[in-house]
Amino acid sequence: MTPLKQRVENDLKAGRLWKARDRLAGVIRTDPANQWALNRLGEVFFRMADMPAAGRVWFLTDREGPEWEAARAAFDERYGQRAEDLLAELRVRAPIEAFPAAAQRRLRKIQVELAGQGKKWEPRAGRQAQPQSRMRIRNIAAGIAFILLILVVIVGLIKRGYQCGVRTRWRARLSLIGLLACPFGRQRHQTVPDGGRNGRPAGRRRRSGRRRSAAAVR
């Protein structure tokens, strides 16, 4: 017997059910299909008079007999028999094949019921699988396509703003209104392509030239 099992047995004999429960729950977190831990944890819950919890744990074992039947009845009474409700409470975090035959039959029954509803469920090691419907998958794909379309439009608008040659600050270039209005403001704010100093508009340069001429005459 390993030290952990010995500590669990000592806790059970001493009536420290809460401590044995915590130890066993820790084992199941790292080894979700551990049959020794699942069976003993169900016994702890049964002794604590938590029948639905005992039924939830024993659901994943090959437990039989009146104790299992009573615990299963309490489990069904509290959580019902809908496949999705059962999975939400069972928290299966291991492949179906990792459990004994009796538990596999119960899990396969849930799997078949979900398949009849157009949902796929296949537990994997290390995580709790959730049933996925085809409609949900299609909605996710449509959302991704919409986001990509928005990105393409934004990139196109940014390119349009840089190509139109408007002399504006970079924040104004990236604003949606500024980009859309770019062709309309082009003539009014057009810069001199090859002679303007520091990109100043042509009209401003002519005015400054007039000032210099007036000063020379004086």
3-state secondary structure of 122: coil
- Structure tokens belonging to residue 192: 């001199």
- Structure tokens belonging to residue 149: 């379309």
Would you state the pLDDT for residue 49?
A: 96
**Per-residue pLDDT tens for 22-40?**
999 999 999 999 999 999 9
**How long a stretch of residues is the chain?**
218
Residue 2 near residue 8, CB atoms below 8 Å = no
Amino acid letter, residue 164: C
Would you state the pLDDT for residue 191?
A: 47
Would you state the pLDDT for residue 47?
A: 96
Would you state the pLDDT for residue 218?
A: 52
Would you state the pLDDT for residue 20?
A: 97
The list of the chain residues with pLDDT below 70 reads 125-139, 157-218
Would you state the pLDDT for residue 14?
A: 95
- Structure tokens belonging to residue 122: 């296949």
**Per-residue pLDDT tens for 124-155?**
765 544 444 445 556 677 788 889 888 888 87
Would you state the pLDDT for residue 155?
A: 77
Residue 99: partners with Cβ closer than 8 Å, 6 or more residues away: 33, 60, 61, 107
DSSP, residue by residue, 24-62: HHHHHHH-TT-HHHHHHHHHHHHHTT-HHHHHHHHTTS-
Q: What is the pTM of this model?
A: 0.57
Q: What own/partner pairs with CB < 8 Å and gap ≥ 24 does 36-43 have?
A: 36/5, 39/63, 40/8, 40/12, 42/71
- Beta bridge partners of residue 170, listed in sequence order: none
Would you state the pLDDT for residue 189?
A: 47
Would you state the pLDDT for residue 3?
A: 92
**Burial class of 157 by CB neighbour count within 10 A (0 to 12, 13 to 18, 19+):** middle
Nearest to 60 by CA among 118, 88, 18, 102: 102
Residue 130: partners with Cβ closer than 8 Å, 6 or more residues away: 87, 121
